[in-house]
Chain A
Amino acid sequence: MRRATHARWAVCAVAVALAATACGGGAGGGTSPGVVSASWGDPQNPLEPANTNEVQGGTVLDMIFRGLKRYDPATGKAQNMLAEKIESKDASEFAITVKPRWTFSNGEKVTARSFVDAWNYGAQLKNNQRNAPFFSQIEGYDQVHPESGRPTAETLSGLKVTGEHTFTVKLSQKFSSWPDTLGYAAFAPLPRAFFDNHKAWLAKPIGNGPYVVNSYTRGFQMSLRKWDAYPGEDKARNDGIDLRVYTDSNTAYTDLTAGNLDLVNDIPASQLKYVEADLGGRYINTPAGIIQTLAFPFYDPKWNKPGVEKVRTGLSMAINRDQITKTIFRHTRIPAGDWTSPVLGVAGGFKKGLCGEACTYDPVKAKKLITEGGGIPGGQLKISYNADTGSHREWVDAVCNSINNALGDEQACVGNPIGTFADFRNQISRHKMPGPFRAGWQMDYPLIQNFLQPLYYTNASSNDGKWSDKEFDRLVDQANAETDKAKAVRTFQEAEKVVRDQMAAIPLWYQNGSAGYSARITHVELNPFSVPVYNQIKVK
């Protein structure tokens, strides 16, 4: 019976393997009453305030942190949160007073130090923080974060702690609306635990917001629970949030319709047709601070000759925005009429008519302008986009179609797909674009400045097309130095008109945030950053 023992061994081995693998895993995945389950994506970078620059990580930071300012979830206006007052006489030196009685969830007090240490950490080159440029306006940034070589200072010279709850900030340039940028997650305070045991903090972040992290299994799920001792006004109205990582938004949506998930904050494009029927009134589609544009490679002399602005304007007029947003995006995008976003509000600088007829579909005039400007540079328009995410192919093809129809030439415009987002960004940063390329901008803070300066100022961080205009730069500098808010906004709009006249980038559409939720929860809203306002959600 030698051979029989062979077989028996094999059976035993399989049984052991089955048993061993079956007992892996911990507590069950069911949701307790009062807890909301929501779809989530795996953050790309380590979860630190100054290192998080995408929506998934930002979602969590918004729940576990409160900064000096907070953007009103409904209006987007920057309001004092931990800041008692922020004062300045000259728009370059600010005295900040932090409200007393705030603590982190581990009991540690939030003081002026908590901010200064966090900002110094964020700016320091050695810490590899992706959001370091947000501190670049503070004096001494070049020393802690030089463009090349080693840093010559450990801390920002513009930051000074003047008392337990007071500190001063000196900027290297006048920037009157700087306090309004402080609602951005990178400016959050950090507890000592972050510096003392960084690894443990990353495994289970500690903050000062309405929620505490209960457990975090990277790549799978983060459980957040209500922090009962939270000192702020915006306490959580539910017991907690379970953020579950979904690899595919379609699966998340299926889970929502099957009743296993409460909240999906990204409706896949393929489901938009059925979403009304599936969810009825439990579907949200509201404006967010995102604008999609077509940028041009101004580093290519073909696109940077005088007279080519006529071609660029003509191309803008050849795009039928109404039809594309209706048929492809099913009204989750709104045709753009300026270079900002509706979430700014009229007082904040949004002015839909600013682009005027340059953004109005007029194929006859478009053709005339393009011919006057010398035709499409290089004979053919190649629109580059990354093909891995989003439904970029669909709209690029539609835009090309629209342009081809206007010009009466089937080959005038073609799409140029690039495999991955990383490669797309890589080619952009190496200035290798063969023609216009997809450019999306999600605001960091609801200010008109954020829609113009990073994108169109000479050599600005996100000026991917390398557009440069002295008049525009001058107006932006002037607007930043302006202490009167309304006047500053008007000056920014003057600068925006320069962008329009030169057609530095073609505005396509404003992107909405979309979400769907189950009948179990109510009071679901999206903030201007298209992130659900979790603390307001109520469980039935």
Chain B
Amino acid sequence: MGHYVIRRLLQMIPVFFGTTLLIFLMVNVMGDPIAGLCGEKQCDPATVAQLRKEFGLDKPTWQQYVTYMGNLFTGDFGTAFNGQPVTELMSTAFPVTFRLTLVAIVFEIVIGIALGVVTGLRRGRPVDTGVLLLTLVVISIPTFVIGLLLQLLLGVKWGVIKPAVSPEAPVDELIVPGLVLASVSLAYVTRLTRTSIAENRRADYVRTAIAKGLPRRRVTTRHLLRNSLIPVVTFIGTDVGFLMGGAIVTERIFNIHGVGYQLYQGILRQNTQTVVGFVTVLVLIFLLANLVVDLLYAVLDPRIRYV
């Protein structure tokens, strides 16, 4: 197990360098960021030269990348154009998005798996068909439509929630945005669980368990569910990174100042430091989430052993 983890961690190094280099090049290709800093006016050349020097933009791209990576290992993510260190932006943005993602994941796990189990056990019944139809509807409607609709109905018409989340973004205000963010994945989790459960129901070990006279509840949770969860866990694990990066639409609708907001601003203002910094952290989260998923397999299925 230890060897496996070390090997996986070592594999992360080339992926890490590759992705950061790609992002770095992509942002640089977009052109000169300083040009947009003076509004509709032309920045005066002397100030431009000075700013370029300050942000290290006067050097060739490869040198910028090397310097950037060097700084990264000392914990210095550079400075955003408004003079704020990127680490400071991260310390405000990541907790908010982390909370939002957590709410979304909890929804996925609780509602998604519960619906999946119910429909999987009652395949072909009205409940199953109903939920299947519902998931189809959710998958086919774009997230921003669901978001704006819920915001309008719950926020403006019925006054149940506030249309915009406050700066502190407490968990209770994130419930509706979290549900919106989770909606599509939730539908997938339901469908995945349903198929998996329905298949394993006919497996030998389930029949054996029932034949042994185990209580129905124990058969479902201990034997059936546990084995059926492997594809679902894989999906949810990869979804963590996906949700954090993809929260941009939901965050915009509900005015949540998280990772999506900072990335959007960074791209609009072509702020290399912000974009590369945030994406680097997102890549790390993505890789770690995948590692955790792989390790969870062993917990779920004792037959899977890593050497």
- Interface set of A (CB-CB < 8 Å, partner B): 3, 6-7, 17-18, 21-22, 24-26, 28-29, 42-46, 53-54, 125-126, 128-130, 132-133, 145-148, 202, 217-221, 244-248, 251-252, 254-255, 257-258, 260-261, 388-389, 419-429, 439-442, 454, 461-462, 464
Contact = CB atoms under 8 A, between A and B. Distances in A.
B99 A21 contact: yes
Given A24-B168, A439-B40, A254 B152 contact: yes
A215 to B, nearest CB: 11
Contact of B251 (A126, A247, A255): A247
Interface in B143-188: 151-152, 155-156, 159, 162-164, 166-171
Contacts of B33: 422
Interface string B83-122: 1100011001001001100100000000000000000000
A376 to B, nearest CB: 26
B227 to A, nearest CB: 14
Nearest to B159: A258
Contacts of A424: 36
A32 to B, nearest CB: 14
Given A219-B92, A247-B255, A254-B151, A29 B81 contact: no
A247 B261 contact: yes
18 contacts: A18-B102, A22-B99, A22-B171, A24-B99, A125-B47, A248-B253, A254-B155, A254-B164, A420-B36, A422-B35, A422-B36, A422-B269, A422-B270, A439-B40, A442-B40, A461-B41, A461-B42, A462-B40
B259 to A, nearest CB: 12
Contacts of A426: 31-32, 35-36
Contacts of B155: 254, 258
Given A125-B47, A147-B45, A420-B270, A53 B255 contact: no
Interface in B23-62: 30-33, 35-47, 49-51, 54
B254 interface: yes
B248 to A, nearest CB: 10
Contacts of A42: 82, 265
Nearest to A461: B42
Interface centre among A145, A252, A421 (most CB of B within 10 A): A421
Q: Is the interface of B mostly helix, strand, loop or mixed?
A: helix
Contacts of A244: 164, 167
B123 interface: no
Nearest to B169: A25
Contact of A53 (B39, B159, B166, B167): B39
Question: How extensive is the interface on chain B, given as a class?
Answer: 35 or more
A28 B170 CA distance: 10
B243 to A, nearest CB: 15
Contacts of B269: 44, 422
A22 B170 contact: yes
Contacts of A145: 44, 46
Interface string B264-275: 110111100000
Contacts of B54: 128
B252 interface: yes
B257 interface: yes
Contacts of B163: 251, 254-255, 258, 260
B22 interface: no
Interface centre among B32, B35, B40, B262 (most CB of A within 10 A): B40
Nearest to A460: B42
Given A148-B45, A420-B30, A255 B81 contact: no
Contacts of B98: 21
B42 A219 contact: no
A422 B164 contact: no
B9 interface: no
A126 B50 contact: yes
Contacts of B134: none
B30 A422 contact: yes
A261 B299 CA distance: 50
A462 B270 CA distance: 22
Contact of B30 (A18, A21, A43, A423): A423
B231 to A, nearest CB: 19
A219 B81 CA distance: 13
Nearest to B105: A14
A3 B301 CA distance: 11
Given A21-B95, A148-B46, A422-B31, A45 B253 contact: no
A220 B50 contact: no
A442 B38 CA distance: 12
Interface of B: 30-33, 35-47, 49-51, 54, 81-84, 88-89, 92, 95, 98-99, 102, 151-152, 155-156, 159, 162-164, 166-171, 251-255, 257, 261-262, 264-265, 267-270, 299
B216 to A, nearest CB: 20
B268 A421 contact: yes
A144 to B, nearest CB: 10
A147 B46 contact: yes
Contacts of A218: 82, 84, 88, 92
A45 to B, nearest CB: 6
Contacts of A146: 46
Nearest to A125: B46
Contact of B83 (A45, A246, A257): A45
B33 to A, nearest CB: 5
Given A148-B49, A248-B252, A254-B164, A21 B270 contact: no
What are the 9 tightest A-B residue pairs by CB atom distance, in nearest-first order? A25-B168, A422-B36, A29-B166, A46-B83, A220-B167, A426-B35, A425-B35, A423-B31, A426-B32
Contacts of B46: 125, 132, 145-148
Contacts of B88: 218
Given A44-B269, A254-B156, A258-B155, A219 B37 contact: no
A245 B252 CA distance: 12
A461 B47 CA distance: 13
A261 B166 CA distance: 12
Contacts of A246: 164, 255
Nearest to A55: B39
A463 to B, nearest CB: 8
A421 B38 CA distance: 11
A219 B257 contact: yes
Nearest to A253: B163
Contacts of B151: 251, 254
Given A29-B168, A126-B50, A462 B162 contact: no
Contacts of B51: 128
Contacts of B262: 219
Contacts of A425: 35-36, 38, 40
B87 to A, nearest CB: 13
Given A128-B47, A148-B45, 16 more contacts: A22-B99, A25-B169, A125-B50, A130-B37, A130-B47, A145-B44, A145-B46, A220-B167, A255-B163, A257-B156, A260-B163, A421-B268, A422-B35, A423-B270, A425-B36, A428-B35
Nearest to A29: B166
B288 to A, nearest CB: 14
A43 B82 contact: yes
A251 B31 contact: no
A222 B88 CA distance: 17
Contacts of B254: 251
A29 B167 contact: yes
A251 B255 contact: yes
B92 A220 contact: yes
A389 B36 CA distance: 13
